[in-house]
Amino acid sequence: MAAVTSNQEKAGPSICGYHFQWLALLAKSLLELARQAKKLGEDDPRRIINSLKAGLSIILVSLFYYVEPLYSSFGVNTTSAVMTAVVIFEFSVGATLGKGVNKMLATLGAGALGLGVHRLATLSGKTGEPIVIDLFVFAIAAMATLARIFPRLKAKCDYGLMIFILTFSLVSVSSYREENIQKMALERLLTITVGCFIAILVNICICPVWIGEDLHNLVALNIEKLGIFLQGFGGEYFEMYEEGLPSKDRSFLQGYKSVFNTQSREENMANLARWEPGHGRFRFRHPWEQYLTIGSLTRQCAIKIDPSLEIPSQVKEHCTMISLECGKALKELSSSIRMMIRAETTLLHIGNSKIAAENLKSFLYQACGKKQTR
């Protein structure tokens, strides 16, 4: 008996120690999570605001479930509005608007098609009705899934096609058991429309995040990175540093490499920006595809950069001048894109770089001529 009591006394502190370690680990994890959330909020406060907007949209939609007149109008289908607001709410206006429009149009089209299939299936009798429904579900689902493979449709309507398959299958299959399928389809369409409109309005009216503006700034930033590199490369290579580029700060030599990894991001942002309405400096039907062209040219320019290239010291003055003027031209171009103005100084720097290139050619021709004379 004494031995059992002794074992229990020994086990007691060990169990307490285990729980204490578990609580300490939990507290450490929560503290680390709080640090990450703080850093995220400092880096991009829009993320924190977006989370609050998402919560607000869900609260507004849930009122249809709490308010008796609204609930009696839509019934259990009110939950579709809540799920819709949760699913389509995105960080940017373009993403939310694109998913919302896709969902509403897909629900409308699939619901109407499902009712048509139900009407056609009832004409084939009780025995043939499930066969007709399954044949149409198979054919429509297969064709819609195949359409999702095509790049253009996948970029613009992938979510809509998925909702189309879901809604059509739901309406068609439910019509076999549901007596009032028209009412169910109409209520589903109305609740989804309500959820979409509330999510879109909250996203647009409260601190909107325009993905088109982010694309605009990203393209300008990539050009600026190239300009900073070229402006400082000559000084770095020949140990000559321009004002504003201290010799100890060599991070600009690696900054241009981030340009290589922005293609997919730019394409996604351009697709979402097309859904956004006119706002600020970006009017309706803004040429977003031009940003993809500029981004592609920027990456081609970055690919041609070779920092390991050996340059003779005899031509350092000419090469430094070319690199410096090209860098200034790109930085001016980046600034003009960001502010959406035409900068005349860009042409001046381009002209200076061309003159420096011609001077380099003349120097090389003269050097080759002297060697041949000897």
Per-residue model confidence as pLDDT tens for the chain (374 residues): 444 455 544 445 556 665 667 777 777 777 877 777 777 767 778 888 888 999 999 999 888 878 777 777 776 677 888 888 999 999 999 999 999 999 999 999 998 998 888 888 888 777 888 888 889 989 999 999 999 888 888 888 889 999 999 989 888 888 777 777 788 888 888 888 989 999 999 999 998 999 999 999 999 998 888 888 887 766 665 555 444 444 455 565 666 677 888 888 889 999 999 998 888 888 888 889 899 999 999 888 888 776 666 666 666 777 778 778 888 888 888 888 888 888 777 777 778 778 777 777 777 777 665 555 55
Within 8 A by CB and 6+ apart from 325, the residues are: 349, 350, 352, 353, 356
CA distance 88 to 366: 67
What's the token pair of residue 81? 């509005």
pTM of the model: 0.78
Give pLDDT tens digits for 282-328: 888 888 989 999 999 988 888 877 666 666 666 677 777 877 888 88
Radius of gyration of the chain measured on its C-alpha atoms:
32
Cα within 13 Å of Cα(75), Cβ side: 7
- Distance set, CA 158 to CA 16, 63, 253 (Å): 54, 30, 40
Within 8 A by CB and 6+ apart from 351, the residues are: none
CA distance 149 to 300: 29
Within 8 A by CB and 6+ apart from 311, the residues are: 237, 319
